[in-house]
Amino acid sequence: MNRQSFRLLLIAAFWLAFPLLAPAPLIYRPGEGWTYEPAGGEGKWIQSRAKDQLAVAQAAFDKKAYNLALKAARRVVKVWPLSDYAPQAQYLLARCYEAKGQDEKAFNEYQTMLQKYPKAVNYEEILQRQYEITNRYLAGQWFKLWDTVPVPPWISAAMDRTAGMYEKLVRNGPYSEVGPQAQMKLGATRDKQEDYPLAVKAYELAADRYHDRPQLAADAIFHAGLSRQKEARSAEYDQGAAGQAISLFTEFIALYPNDPRVAQAQKIIAALKAEQARGSFETAKFYERYKRWNGALVYYNEVLVQDPNSPYAAAARHRLDELKRRNQQASK
């Protein structure tokens, strides 16, 4: 190592060993990490008591000096985590991130507060703020990786993050003011993601958990039926999903006969049954084409069971009669 390199190494070591004396704007404090200090203002915001430190954070927040408010509030939480002032400092951390438009960070800081201080007097307000943040992501707001790289809302990973936020909300307060709606929005998120089984699961949980709220329970069952209907339509027609959709809409009509959506549910049931009948008719024709007569009989009969008034019913009856006559002749 030459003399010049050795000299630079000594200077670097001195700066790292005595950061409080360095004029640089980045200051390191044990237990607190690195903070930015404008030249001439190093340490002026630091207070020796939690109460005074929180006052600095609150004053900065009120003046919309969010970076200073963040530093001061974070110091309260780190240096005096068990003090009576820590919950309000944690709350200010979240409020600062929200004010700066860093919604995911704000949500996480609110989550930390609810977990660390579950007896906070503003618990319901925090749930409401988390709910509004998550709604913004569901409405199309973009996430950001590392606070810089935008993630489109239609990307599956982004929808998973939105769903995860709703799940945390429901766990935080299933019977809070926002809990039931968060459960419904979880279903909507999965539906938007086209993960219909998870959407149905979310809606059915809402219907079960909030059965004493007729309007919400009715909405949950109806939307579960719509998700099953979409699942039935996706890719090749899914007879199982169609049958489950019919069951859900039938349950909806039975439980809420005066709901204005009953007529819509009846039309959907009719359309699903007609599609089921068409599928069974095509399957019966397939079996008949390959001379598998018993299979054809089963599926032509299924057409009549599924929808005796469908456009395929008359043809199914005709083919059933023909196949029965054939079987009788073959048995003689």
User: What span, in angstroms and rounded, lies between the C-alpha atoms of 32 and 42?
Assistant: 15
Q: Is residue 302 part of a domain?
A: yes
Q: What angle do CA 85, 88, 93 make, to 5 degrees?
A: 120
Residues sharing a CB contact under 8 Å with residue 327, sequence separation 6 or more, in sequence order: 293
Of the chain, the percentage scoring pLDDT greater than 90 comes to 59
258 vs 4 pLDDT, higher one: 258
Domain range spanning residue 315? 279-332
Q: Is residue 151 part of a domain?
A: no
Residues sharing a CB contact under 8 Å with residue 87, sequence separation 6 or more, in sequence order: 113, 116, 117, 120
pLDDT at 41 over 50: no
Helix/strand/coil percentages in the chain, nearest 5: 70, 5, 25
Q: Is residue 190 part of a domain?
A: no
Q: Is residue 48 part of a domain?
A: no
Residues sharing a CB contact under 8 Å with residue 10, sequence separation 6 or more, in sequence order: none
Give Cα separations from 205 to 174, 183, 202, 266, 319 (angstroms).
11, 8, 5, 23, 44
Number of domains forming the structure of the chain:
2
- Residue 256's nearest CA partner among 224, 225, 221 is 221
Q: Is residue 288 part of a domain?
A: yes
Q: Is residue 328 part of a domain?
A: yes
pLDDT at 188 over 90: yes
Q: How confident is the model at residue 81 (pLDDT cuts 50, 70, 90)?
A: very high
pTM of the model as a whole:
0.77
**Kind and range of the H or E run holding 135:** helix 123-138
Q: Is residue 294 part of a domain?
A: yes
Least confident of 95-99, 114-118, 180-184, 325-329: 325-329
- Residue 241's nearest CA partner among 282, 180, 199, 190 is 199
User: What span, in angstroms and rounded, lies between the C-alpha atoms of 15 and 32?
Assistant: 18
User: What span, in angstroms and rounded, lies between the C-alpha atoms of 28 and 257?
Assistant: 67
Tokens representing 70 are 């963040």
216, 256 contact by CB (below 8 A): no
Sign of the alpha-carbon dihedral angle for 281, 282, 283, 288: positive
Q: Is residue 168 part of a domain?
A: no
- Residue 277's nearest CA partner among 250, 243, 254, 230 is 243
Residue 29: per-residue pLDDT: 52
User: What span, in angstroms and rounded, lies between the C-alpha atoms of 155 and 175?
Assistant: 31
Half-sphere exposure of 164 (CA within 13 A, CB side): 10
